[in-house]
Chain A
Amino acid sequence: MSDQKINESIVTDEIREHMKENRIDHMTYLPDMEIIDSDIQDRVLSAMHAYDPESYTAADVRRALDHERISVEDFKALLSPAAQPFLEEIAAKARAEKQRYFGNSIYMMTPLYISNYCENYCIYCGFNCHNKIDRAKLDEESIERELKAIAKTGLEEILILTGESRKMSDVEYIGNAVKLARKYFRVIGLEIYPVNTEEYRYLHECGADYVTVFQETYNSAKYETLHLAGHKRIFPYRLNAQERALRGGMRGVTFAALLGLDDFRKDAFATGIHGYYLQQKYPAAEIGFSCPRLRPIINNDKINPMDVHETQLLQVVCAYRLLLPSAQIIVSSRECERVRNNLMNICATKVSAGVDTGIGRHSQENIQEEKQGDEQFEIDDRRDYREMYDAIEKMGLQPVMSDYIYV
């Protein structure tokens, strides 16, 4: 996909009209956004621009596979079209690396959406502020009900998510949710709008230790056409979120490109080296990758990930594993049971279970009191905790609820 072309499955007539309107400069920070002194963005983007996936040959892939440790150059070869015929061998190497670092362990977690109010206009996302969906924000009592209901299943790790609205879900609100979560969970991650270093520090002190931010695409020109309004439109503030989170004391950060928005090979490359460079700069940081593909949303069931088929998804996930063997790799419930099982067997280390991307749907009381909001995207793998646990065991793997201690 070229810089200019857009994944047509995303675009509706309404969006087409909005795209004609004037938009703010996506590369200029807004006044409340912290600017950190860092060269990571320049390094990631210049490496990505220099990467030409078509220039790699079978010989380059062979050389990469023969190396014990994968260099950035090898990573480029493994993500190239030339690597596709080697996928079986790549998968075997990725599996061996996963076993070396993680043995049989597969970590389990679930996301908890506490609010779906959003100020952004990301044209592919179900939460976007122009999409007419039922909005909801859980109060503390409802959050605690959800936490209790999830904890009852046996899960010990939770990822707290909000739509990206500072107004509707401010840092204090999220911090309070984290404090409640600490009563029931050992591992707490956040997937919220990017915040400043001191705000990350506050959330860390509340009990969160992991931060996930999807950059969606690292192609800033394409990013601009997909994120038409809201804070999220500011590309560099988002790209530097993980570094701010680490400076704020978080233990780990997760990276992702939403595959299908742009040239997936370049986006996957940028995602990988973003994690790689930050790990070099902050050696104690635990790096994670999430590997989402585009999914249908409410009011647009046609959205699809274009040229990112299962083959390409596997290639990307294996390349991440080989570049950073110790990285946590999460496979979203956007993928079907068959794909997730096989990715766990080969290269992924973490799965979600009992997923609902809507609001207030875990506890019976919240459901009865109709505190729910609509979901962010359609999930595919609907297995609950027990089904997932059993499936992992059946594959000869070990479900692990927590490998973490809050110190």
Chain B
Amino acid sequence: MNTDKLIIGGHEFDSRFILGSGKYSLDLIEAAVKNAGAQIITLALRRANQGGQANILDYIPEGVTLLPNTSGARNAQEAVRIARLSRELGCGDFVKIEIMRDTKYLLPDNEETVKATEILAKEGFVVMPYMYPDLNTARDLYNAGAATVMPLAAPIGTNKGLCTKEFIQILIDEIDLPVIVDAGIGKPSQACEAMEMGAAAVMANTAIATAGNIPEMAEAFKLAIEAGRKAYLAGLGRVMHKGAAASSPLTGFLRD
């Protein structure tokens, strides 16, 4: 039995892979979820059809937790409104806060994100804020009642991997919340590396949605995330750096 659970806001998950849904053809979502073994899938509320045809919700397999996001929000106020609407529409209590006021790089606005987190956490939402990996903001988010923090690895869609590695490591070391690496993960090896660092989970969308074979890439990510997690739990062995261990110890002269 798997005892290594991912716990978010009191909810337990076996999978540590969160799948984004925004860039797929709908008929591939189901295969991606299945092959990735994902139990959480994000959904842009602005993309969820309220009636009409080709409703994205119809393509998400049962038993998967929906993580509606507030993309499209430009400030805390808009994010709060979208989150409340999401709850009214029956999308549950989970919400991923995404606040961007730059359409070019789509970088999150940390300050507004803290404000929205505080309001929504008080209203009983399980708040998962997407953020730029800044320790001070992460502490503010913790104090505001966030259930996780979701730092970006690289700008959304760039598939560049762990550009912000050092800063994410600081969050992992200092913040007593699951740190979920979000945005910019381009290949399974990068997801694996994030997990080895101690990330609680990884989220990906573009890397899978734009792969040659979507179901196979989804599975590759699943395996990489599991491998990374296992390595983290096993405790990484000592990695020798060149010249790091001198054959004659520098301290060998000490007598007392």
Using a CB–CB cutoff of 8 Å, the interface residues on chain A facing chain B are: 99-105, 154, 156, 279, 283-287, 324, 326, 393, 396-405, 407
B72 within 8 A of A: yes
Q: Decide if the interface of chain B is mainly helix, strand, loop or mixed.
A: loop
B232 within 8 A of A: no
Q: Please measure, in the bound complex, the distance between the C-alpha atom of A393 and the C-alpha atom of B54, giving whole angstroms.
A: 12
Tally of chain B residues near chain A (CB < 8 A): 33
Contact B158 A100 (CB under 8 A): yes
Please pick, from A154, A285, A404, A405, the residue contacting B53 in the complex, using a CB distance under 8 A. A154
Contact A99 B210 (CB under 8 A): yes
Stretch at the interface among B20-28, B195-203, B220-228: B20-28
Q: Please measure, in the bound complex, the distance between the C-alpha atom of A397 and the C-alpha atom of B54, giving whole angstroms.
A: 13
Please pick, from B44, B74, B104, B210, the residue contacting A326 in the complex, using a CB distance under 8 A. B104
Across-interface contacts of A287 in B (CB, < 8 A): 103
Residue among B23, B25, B82, B104 with the highest chain A CB neighbour number at 10 A: B104
Please pick, from B52, B82, B102, B106, the residue contacting A401 in the complex, using a CB distance under 8 A. B52
Contact B104 A405 (CB under 8 A): no
Q: Please measure, in the bound complex, the distance between the C-alpha atom of A401 and the C-alpha atom of B106, giving whole angstroms.
A: 22
Q: Please measure, in the bound complex, the distance between the C-alpha atom of A105 and the C-alpha atom of B22, giving whole angstroms.
A: 8
- With A99-B210, A403-B47 already in contact, the answer to whether A156 and B52 are too (CB < 8 A) is yes
Contact A103 B53 (CB under 8 A): no
A369 to chain B, nearest CB (A): 29
| Beta-carbon nearest neighbor of B29 in chain A | A398
Q: List residues of B (80-115) whose CB comes within 8 Å of A's CBs.
A: 81-82, 85, 100-104, 106
Q: Please measure, in the bound complex, the distance between the C-alpha atom of A104 and the C-alpha atom of B25, giving whole angstroms.
A: 6
A and B contact pairs by CB, cutoff 8 A, 19 listed: A100-B157, A100-B158, A100-B159, A103-B23, A103-B206, A104-B23, A105-B22, A284-B101, A284-B103, A285-B103, A287-B103, A393-B25, A397-B25, A400-B47, A404-B46, A405-B46, A405-B72, A405-B85, A407-B78
Across-interface contacts of A101 in B (CB, < 8 A): 157
B100 to chain A, nearest CB (A): 8
The number of residue pairs between A and B whose CB atoms lie closer than 8 Å in the complex comes to 75
Across-interface contacts of A324 in B (CB, < 8 A): 104
| Beta-carbon nearest neighbor of B21 in chain A | A103
- With A156-B52, A405-B46 already in contact, the answer to whether A103 and B106 are too (CB < 8 A) is no
B255 to chain A, nearest CB (A): 58
9 tightest Cβ-Cβ pairs between the two chains A and B: A103-B23, A405-B46, A284-B101, A283-B102, A100-B157, A407-B78, A398-B25, A103-B209, A284-B74
Contact B101 A407 (CB under 8 A): no
Contact A104 B72 (CB under 8 A): no
Across-interface contacts of B82 in A (CB, < 8 A): 405, 407
Q: Please measure, in the bound complex, the distance between the C-alpha atom of A405 and the C-alpha atom of B104, giving whole angstroms.
A: 19
Please pick, from B22, B25, B46, the residue contacting A402 in the complex, using a CB distance under 8 A. B46
Q: Please measure, in the bound complex, the distance between the C-alpha atom of A401 and the C-alpha atom of B54, giving whole angstroms.
A: 9
Contact A283 B52 (CB under 8 A): no
Q: Please measure, in the bound complex, the distance between the C-alpha atom of A154 and the C-alpha atom of B49, giving whole angstroms.
A: 11
- With A283-B104, A324-B104, A405-B82 already in contact, the answer to whether A398 and B44 are too (CB < 8 A) is no
B55 to chain A, nearest CB (A): 10
Contact B103 A326 (CB under 8 A): yes
